Structure 1
Amino acid sequence: MLLTSIKTKLKLTSTQKVLMSKHAGISRFTYNWGLATWQVLYKEGYKPNHLILKKFFNNEVKTVFPWIKEKGICQKITEFAFENLGKAFQNFFEKRADYPKFKRKGRNSSFTINAGGKPINIGGNRIKLPTIGWVSTYESLPHTTTTKVTISQTAGDWYISCSYEIEREITNKEYDYVGVDLGVKVRSVG
């Protein structure tokens, strides 16, 4: 099996655009909260990680902000925001990236969702996203499944991207030997 990916533009209604913006806002808020909390804990001598921050956020912070649990909002976006924060710090510690920065509204808005371990069916010009429901695409998607999707905004347009597996074609060997061309020396007669 080979892993491949696709990214395509979404054809959204105005209501769906608002819903996408809410998801991206919650993802940004969660990431920024995690980064700020990480910095405070580090200054106080602790060694934080994204798993501890996620647990505290889910048990203590989510209860203070009811808009995070609003109907129609996929609760997995906070999980992926912490996962992205953990990857950002890992890349920083391994000297592959700069120190993580706070996310700003309107710049690289995105969020990732999954179906709680169940496959997400894609194919054709529509896809049913967990909690969000059916959304349309401008181009036809291959008929397959994926485990998670990322939705991002660029220049006012929303895009969906995901990875999926395809079968690798196995070619049969036609011959048991290989020919090698060593070239021919030509002597010019002149």
Structure 2
Amino acid sequence: MPRAPQPDPTITTRVLRLRIKDKHAPWLREMAFHVNQVWNYCNELGFKVWLRERRFMSGFDFAAYTRGATKEGLPLHSQTVQAVAEEFATRRRQFRKVKLRWRVSKGAKRSLGWIPFKSSAIQYRNGQVFLAGKPLGLWDSYGLSNYRLGSGSISEDARGRWYLNVTVKVQKQPGPATAAIGKAVALDLNLRSAATSDAVLLEFEQHYRILEEKIARAQRAKKPKLVRALCAKAANRRKDQHHKHSTALVRNYDAIFVGNVNSLALAKTRMAKSVLDAGWGMFRTMLRYKCDDAGVWLEEVNEAYSTQTCSCCQSRTGPKGVAGLGIREWPCEVCGAYHHRDINAAINILAAGRGRLAGGIHALSA
């Protein structure tokens, strides 16, 4: 048998997100309604097959039941129907559930619009994308004519705005060899800042907290549109802040080490609102793909005891326990060095990261 072609290591995949003009919203909502029907059909069919045969259906299995639906009047591209079935099978396997939630098209708890597609179902020409033969105007800030469009989706946000999310292939920058890594930095993530090993504090403003009082007033006044607009403003501010910090780090350093703080676990505690407002997961995701594009090393390092260990003599003399969380600066009882709690932790993370690379780990754990 002929060998399957190997992926080109110099090519990477990026997702471009472009806003679609609002005049197409009615048609897109109609298409999203039919997508929901396909999803719910797969949900019900998959549950019945599991009850009868105790097996889970794959995307290939669903194809036999959805084949020919577009010829019977379903106004969707056949590739979109396949993409919905495959996505359902993937999510059911991911969440390990026999049955997933229904996608609701109307009402207070309606699902946000979502229309997946494959590369053969979308085309770009003359400043427009064509989906199922329908031209869609958009604000082309990337120059889509320079890319070969792959699969993706069209999605709706909470304010009813629609976006094209499409994958493209781009040239990947070669990363430096482990021995050639020059300027490196480590980050200790906190709720209000990210301390670097270069003694710089990157401020993380609490954008939701800033607008929380206005959001509460709008909720009491029963103004859902204003609530969604204020929440979107906080999210956009947070995203802009993370983009600026992550871009500056990638441009100025050859290697970046980040503590492996478990944001998902902390989001289940009483600190959930502050943890989600800090957006640690979003920030690390941005660092991950930007480092991958720019050829910068990115390593997540175990940050256990990094705040308690003196970065000068390695003695564990720092503040401990819940009572010590409020202590931001402390002197080492052994060597006498005076430390800023977060900067000291970042320096320890940097040392641990360099030690891992020196130990022969040539693949990034991102």
TM-score computed with the length of structure 1 as normaliser: 0.70
Q: Which has the higher helix share?
A: 2
**Deviations along 1:139-171, whole A, 9 cap, x unmatched?**
422321122231011121111111212112348
Q: Flag the 1:75–1:177 CA change in 2: closer, same or farther, 3 A.
A: closer
In structure 2, the partner of 1:152 is: 155
What amino acid is the match of 1:164? V
Contact 1:111 1:150 in 2 (8 A): yes
Contact 1:54 1:79 in 2 (8 A): yes
What amino acid is the match of 1:145? R
Q: Report the Cα offset of residue 54 of structure 1.
A: 2.3
C-alpha distance in 1 between matches for 2:54 and 2:65: 15
C-alpha distance in 2 between matches for 1:38 and 1:178: 51
SS at match of 2:111: coil
2:20 to 2, 7, 10: 10
The aligned runs of 1:45-84 (5 Å cut-off) are: 45-50=53-58, 51-59=60-68, 62=69, 66-68=72-74, 70=75, 73-84=76-87
C-alpha distance in 1 between matches for 2:89 and 2:175: 41
Q: Report the Cα offset of residue 92 of structure 1.
A: 2.4
In structure 2, the partner of 1:102 is: 102
Say yes or no: does 1:91 pair with 2:94: yes
Say yes or no: does 1:31 pair with 2:33: no
Q: Report the Cα offset of residue 58 of structure 1.
A: 1.8
SS at match of 1:108: coil
Q: Flag the 1:178–1:84 CA change in 2: closer, same or farther, 3 A.
A: closer
**Deviations along 1:120-143, whole A, 9 cap, x unmatched?**
447x8x332232433222342232
SS at match of 2:102: coil
Q: Report the Cα offset of residue 34 of structure 1.
A: 0.6
Q: Which has the higher strand share?
A: 1
2:28 to 6, 20, 24: 20
In structure 2, the partner of 1:182 is: none
SS at match of 2:142: strand
The aligned runs of 1:101-180 (5 Å cut-off) are: 101-105=101-105, 106-116=110-120, 120-121=123-124, 126-142=127-143, 143-154=146-157, 155-170=159-174
**Deviations along 1:40-91, whole A, 9 cap, x unmatched?**
12112342413222212225xx38x9441x4xx4222211110111101221
What amino acid is the match of 2:165? S
Contact 1:121 1:144 in 2 (8 A): no
C-alpha distance in 1 between matches for 2:42 and 2:30: 18
Q: Report the Cα offset of residue 178 of structure 1.
A: 8.8
Say yes or no: does 1:43 pair with 2:51: yes
Q: Report the Cα offset of residue 99 of structure 1.
A: 5.4
What amino acid is the match of 1:77? T
C-alpha distance in 2 between matches for 1:47 and 1:98: 10
SS at match of 1:83: helix
Contact 2:17 2:163 in 1 (8 A): yes
Contact 1:121 1:145 in 2 (8 A): no
Q: CA RMSD in A?
A: 3.2
Identity %: 8
What amino acid is the match of 1:136? G
Q: Flag the 1:113–1:102 CA change in 2: closer, same or farther, 3 A.
A: same
Contact 2:43 2:99 in 1 (8 A): no
Q: Flag the 1:75–1:19 CA change in 2: closer, same or farther, 3 A.
A: farther
Q: Which structure 2 segments of 5+ residues have no match?
A: 1-10, 183-366
Q: Flag the 1:9–1:44 CA change in 2: closer, same or farther, 3 A.
A: same
